[in-house]
Amino acid sequence: MGRCLSVQTPTAALALVIVMLGVSWAVRRSTSTTLDFYLANRQVGPFLNACAICGDYFSAASFLGVAGAVYASGLDGVWFATGFAAGFLVVLFFLAAPLRRAGQFSIPDFLAHRFGSSHVRIVAVAIVQLIVLLYLVPQMAGAGLVWEVFVREGFLGASPYVTGIVLSTVVIVIQAVVGGMKGTTWNQALLFGL
């Protein structure tokens, strides 16, 4: 049973990577300008966007992180999951609507527009990058752990954990470069469906 699972897991992961890259490539063909690449050609509807947000919510950082917090702190850890879900509602109601009304697509752009200062934009970008880093670390740790548990083999002398992190990073970068924001949105929606 263990050997069968060990053989099927890399095959399923490779199939998923191929499908995701195929989706990115198919969507990329409809992107003609840099603005289209970064703003998904402004063709992402509410249903697709909701599926993509849910796919992001079910990511390794939130899924494994919240499960780990509940495991580590017992029943009190359920409040971590509640707070995490409530955070999306706060963003939706108090951040997304003002951004849309201002005609801006990012928090740094909104703050620079609101306060008329490029210094505010630089500080906001630095804070956003810090938040992205704090979100990315558990994502990559989850990818490394999944590879280590299911595949149990490293490449080029690296440990299985490091191999999982490196391969996941390479696949994500290729997928984002090929598909842009529209490809990323479609792939997150696909992962939500799975």
Over the chain, what is the mean pLDDT? 81
Question: pTM of the prediction?
Answer: 0.68
pLDDT in tens, 96-150: 778 878 888 778 888 888 888 889 889 988 998 998 888 788 788 888 888 888 8
pLDDT in tens, 11-30: 777 888 888 888 888 887 77
Q: Which residue has the tokens 């029943």?
A: 75
Q: Which residue has the tokens 């989706």?
A: 23
Q: What percent of the chain has pLDDT over 90?
A: 6
Burial 87-122 (b: 16+ CB within 10 A, else e): eeeeeeeeeeeebeeeebeebbbbbbeeeeeeebbe
Three-class secondary structure assignment of 126-181: HHHHHHHHHHHHHHHHHHHHHHHHHCCCCCCCCCHHHHHHHHHHHHHHHHHHHHHH
| Tokens matching residue 7 | 């053989």
Q: Which residue has the tokens 């490449």?
A: 155
User: How far from 35 is each of 21, 42, 191, CA to CA, in Å?
Assistant: 21, 9, 25
pLDDT in tens, 139-190: 888 888 888 888 788 888 889 899 989 998 998 888 888 888 888 888 888 8
What is the pLDDT at residue 8?
67
| Tokens matching residue 104 | 């801006």
Alpha helices in the chain (DSSP H): 2-28, 34-39, 46-57, 60-73, 78-91, 97-102, 107-115, 118-150, 160-193
What's the Rg (C-alpha) of the chain? 19
